[in-house]
Amino acid sequence: MSIVLGANQYGKAETRVVRVDRDADGHRVTDLNVSVALSGDMTDTHLTGANDKVLPTDTQKNTVYAFARDGVGEIEDFALRLARHFVDSQPTIGRARVRVERYPWARLELAGRPAHHSFSRSGEGTRTATVTYDGQRAWVVSGITDLTVLNSTGSEFWGYVRDPFTTLRETRDRVLATAVDASWRHEAADDVDWGKSYATARRALLEAFGETHSRSLQQTLYAMGERVLTNCPEVVEVRLRLPNKHHFLVDLAPFGLDNPNEVFHAADRPYGLIEGTVLRDDAPPADPAW
């Protein structure tokens, strides 16, 4: 028996970089959280402490800032530029994975007009991109997190398994709420209009959530993934994580009041976590994309 080093990667996680584009007719704010993970032949590094193959994570952070100086553009393109740079410029780095989260800022409206340089953090969800590059190929996964949505009707949950521990009451009309965490894998890494693709996928998720009469969050999950694949031919696989943000009907009987599906306790924990993948049956292998 001998002990060997297994899979490993290293990098600077969560570099926060904010870029302001000072256009004359209105500033633009790009607020990012960038995480870099590099891998290569790091056996010596771990076994002997030799650092001659290590590009310091501090340098990686500086690279993120320096690249932002040239403009960010679509976050998929920014991640591709960074990933290609690390692998192509460092012989000891065989693979880079760069994840970018873009926090949403919405322009304020002041005196009935779009503000020139004032913004508020909006609830439209955090756009994400994860790029993996191995020196030959790049894989791009785009996504959205923290997209909180709610249907105040059109949701049922009944007919489930019962055992001695089951207390849940069946419902034909409940509130359905979730914070969507969705990622979708693109077939190609080049010649994609990332902004348009993101807008289409986001709209597909919202429309499917709102338009599906739901018998479970699992059914809604599938409908959301299916809608993204139908509306975005450039996407081959969608992964969804949907926390069930339970809204429990409050018992108002102790106060002599009825509660005709109007007053709820929004519980934050525990929550059901519904996860699933929806993909084209001809999707090429994911390889190291995720």
Cite the active site residues: 12, 57, 246
Contact pattern from residue 132 through residue 171 relative to ligand URC, giving x for each residue in contact according to CB under 6 A and a dash for the rest: -------------------------x----------x---
| Closest to ligand URC by CB, 151 or 244 | 244
Please report how close the Cβ of residue 156 comes to ligand URC at its closest, in angstroms. 9
Site for ligand URC in 81-110 (CB under 6 A): none
| Closest to ligand URC by CB, 61 or 247 | 247
Q: Is the dihedral of CA 255, 260, 265, 270 positive or negative?
A: positive
Residue spans of beta strands (DSSP E) within 24-166 = 26-40, 93-103, 105-110, 113-121, 126-133, 138-151
Alpha-carbon distance of 115 to 29, in angstroms, equals 13
For the annotated binding site, the residues are 57-58, 157, 174, 218, 244
Residue closest to 71 by CA, chosen among 21, 22, 13, 16: 21
Please report how close the Cβ of residue 144 comes to ligand URC at its closest, in angstroms. 21
Do 192 and 212 meet the contact criterion of CB atoms below 8 Å apart?
Answer: no
CA distances from 235 to 158, 174, 212, 220 (A): 33, 32, 21, 19
The 8 Å CB, 24+ separation contacts for 19-23 are 19/68, 19/71, 19/72, 21/71
Q: Quickly tell me which residue has 């959301």 as its tokens.
A: 224
Q: How far apart are the first and last CA of the chain?
A: 32
Burial of 279 (0-12, 13-18, 19+ CB in 10 A): middle
Q: With contacts defined by CB under 6 A, how many residues of the chain interact with ligand URC? A: 7
Please report how close the Cβ of residue 267 comes to ligand URC at its closest, in angstroms. 12
Taking CB under 6 A as the rule, does residue 272 contact ligand URC? Answer: yes
| Closest to ligand URC by CB, 175 or 229 | 175
Please report how close the Cβ of residue 212 comes to ligand URC at its closest, in angstroms. 12
Alpha-carbon distance of 65 to 78, in angstroms, equals 11
Contact pattern from residue 208 through residue 237 relative to ligand URC, giving x for each residue in contact according to CB under 6 A and a dash for the rest: --------xxx-------------------
For the annotated binding site for urate, the residues are 57-58, 157, 174, 218, 244
For the annotated binding site for O2, the residues are 57, 244
134 phi, psi to nearest 5 deg? -115, 15
| Closest to ligand URC by CB, 48 or 166 | 166
For the annotated binding site for 5-hydroxyisourate, the residues are 57, 157, 174, 218, 244
Please report how close the Cβ of residue 166 comes to ligand URC at its closest, in angstroms. 9
Binding site for ligand URC (CB under 6 A): 157, 168, 216-218, 244, 272
